[in-house]
A and B are shown apart, each in its own frame.
Chain A
Amino acid sequence: MMRLPAFRYRAARTIADAAAWLAESPAETMLIAGGTDVLPKMKRRQQTPTTLIGLRGIRELADIRNGNGFTIGAGVTLSNLLAHPAMRASYPGLFHAIAQIATPHLRNMGTIGGNLCLDTRCTYYDQTYEWRKAIDFCLKKDGERCWVATSSPKCLAVSSTDTAPVLLALGASVTLVSSVGLRVIPVGDLFASDGMHYLTRRPDEILTTITLPSAEGWRSAYWKLRRRGSFDFPVAAAASAAKLDGLDVVDVRIVLGAVASRPVECHAAATVLKGQRLTDQRIADAAAVASEVAKPMDNTDYELVWRKSMVRTLVSHALHEIRGDDMSGRRRQLARQQLLALT
Chain B
Amino acid sequence: MTSRTSRVIGRARRRVDARAKVTGQTRFADDIMLPRMLHCRLLRSTQPHAQIVAIDVSKATAVEGVHLVLTGKDLPVPYGILPVSNDEHALCPDKVRFVGDPVAAVVARDEVTAGYAAQQIDVSYEPLRTFASPADSLAHDEPRIHDYGDHGNVHKAVALQFGDVDAAIAGADHVFDDVFFFEGSTHLPIEQHATVALKDPDGKLVVYSSTQTPHYLHRALAKALEMPAAHIRVIATPNGGGFGGKSDPFNHEIVVAKAALLLDRPVKICLSREEVFLCHRGRHPVLMRFRTGVNDDGTIAGMDLQTLLDGGAYGSYGVASTFYTGALQTVTYNIPRYRFRGCRVFTNKPPCGPKRGHGTPQSRFGQEVQLDKVAEHLRVDPAEFRLGIVVPPDSLTANYMRVKTIGLADCIRRVVERSQWKDKFRKLPLGRGVGLACSSYLSGAGLPIYWNDMPHSGVQLKLDRSGGVTAFCGATEIGQGSDDVLVGLIAEVLGIDPFDVRAVTGDTDLTPVDLGSYSSRVTLMMGNAAIQAAERAREIVASVVSDRLEIRPDRIVFADRRVFDRERPEHGLTFQEAVCLAEAKFGTVGTVGSYTPPKSPGHYKGGGVGPTPTYSYSASVVEVEVDPQTGWITVPRVWIAHDIGCALNPTLVRGQIEGAVYMGLGEALMEEQAFRRLPPRLSGALVHKFPSILEYKSPTSLDMPEIFTDLIEHPDPEGPFGAKEVGQGPLLPIMPAVANAVYDAVGVRVDQIPVTPEKIVRALQAKAAGKPARSGPAAFPDIDWPEPLLVAPPWENGDGRATNEKKRSAKVVVRS
> What is A's interface to B at a CB cutoff of 8 Å?
1-3, 123, 126-131, 133-136, 145, 147, 150, 227-232, 301-303, 305-306, 309-310, 313, 333-334, 336-337
Contacts and interface: CB of A to CB of B under 8 A. Distances in A.
B46 A134 contact: yes
Contacts of B99: 131, 134
12 contacts: A3-B111, A123-B689, A126-B692, A131-B691, A135-B683, A136-B683, A228-B670, A228-B697, A302-B758, A306-B631, A306-B761, A309-B761
Interface stretch (B516-524, B699-707, B720-728): B699-707
A229 B670 CA distance: 12
B691 A231 contact: no
B703 A336 contact: yes
Given A128-B274, A306-B631, A229 B697 contact: no
A308 to B, nearest CB: 11
A334 B689 CA distance: 25
Interface of B: 30, 44, 46-48, 99, 111-112, 115, 119, 192, 270, 272-274, 625, 627, 629-632, 634, 670, 676, 678-679, 682-683, 685, 687-692, 694-695, 697, 699-703, 756-758, 761
Contacts of B683: 135-136
Most chain B CB within a 10 A radius of its CB, from A135, A305, A337: A135
A150 B682 contact: yes
A333 B625 contact: yes
A336 B679 contact: no
A36 to B, nearest CB: 12
Nearest to A43: B272
A230 B632 contact: no
Nearest to A303: B758
Nearest to A145: B682
A133 B688 CA distance: 13
A169 B320 CA distance: 58
Contacts of A134: 46-48, 99, 685, 687
A305 B765 CA distance: 13
Contacts of A306: 631, 757-758, 761
A99 to B, nearest CB: 12
Contact of A131 (B631, B634, B687, B756): B687
Contacts of A333: 625, 627, 632, 634
B669 to A, nearest CB: 9
A131 B702 contact: no
Contacts of B47: 134
Contacts of B694: 231-232
A130, A231, A336 — which one has the most chain B CB atoms within 10 A of its CB? A130
A229 B685 CA distance: 33
B46 A301 contact: no
A143 to B, nearest CB: 11
Contacts of A303: 758
Instruction: List the 8 shortest-distance A-B pairs measured between CB atoms, nearest first.
Output: A229-B702, A134-B46, A336-B702, A306-B758, A303-B758, A134-B99, A135-B685, A230-B700
Nearest to B672: A301
A130 B44 contact: yes
Contacts of A309: 630, 761
Nearest to A233: B694
Contacts of B758: 302-303, 305-306
Given A135-B678, A229-B701, 5 more contacts: A130-B44, A134-B687, A231-B694, A306-B761, A309-B630
Contacts of B625: 333
Nearest to B685: A135
A334 B701 CA distance: 15
B272 A135 contact: no
Contact of B272 (A2, A150, A227, A232): A2
B272 A1 contact: yes
A336 B630 CA distance: 16
Contact of A313 (B629, B678, B692): B629
A131 B695 CA distance: 14
Contacts of B273: 2
Contact of A229 (B30, B119, B631, B703): B703
A1 B111 contact: yes
B782 to A, nearest CB: 29
B632 A131 contact: no
Contacts of B112: 3
A155 to B, nearest CB: 17
A123 B695 contact: yes
Contacts of A136: 683, 685
Contacts of B690: 123
Given A2-B272, A3-B111, A306-B757, A313 B689 contact: no
Contacts of B685: 134-136
A302 B674 CA distance: 12
Given A128-B274, A231-B694, A334 B632 contact: yes
A229 B698 CA distance: 11
A181 to B, nearest CB: 38
A126 B690 CA distance: 9
With most chain B CB atoms within 10 A of its CB, the pick from A228, A232, A302 is A228
Contacts of B757: 302, 306
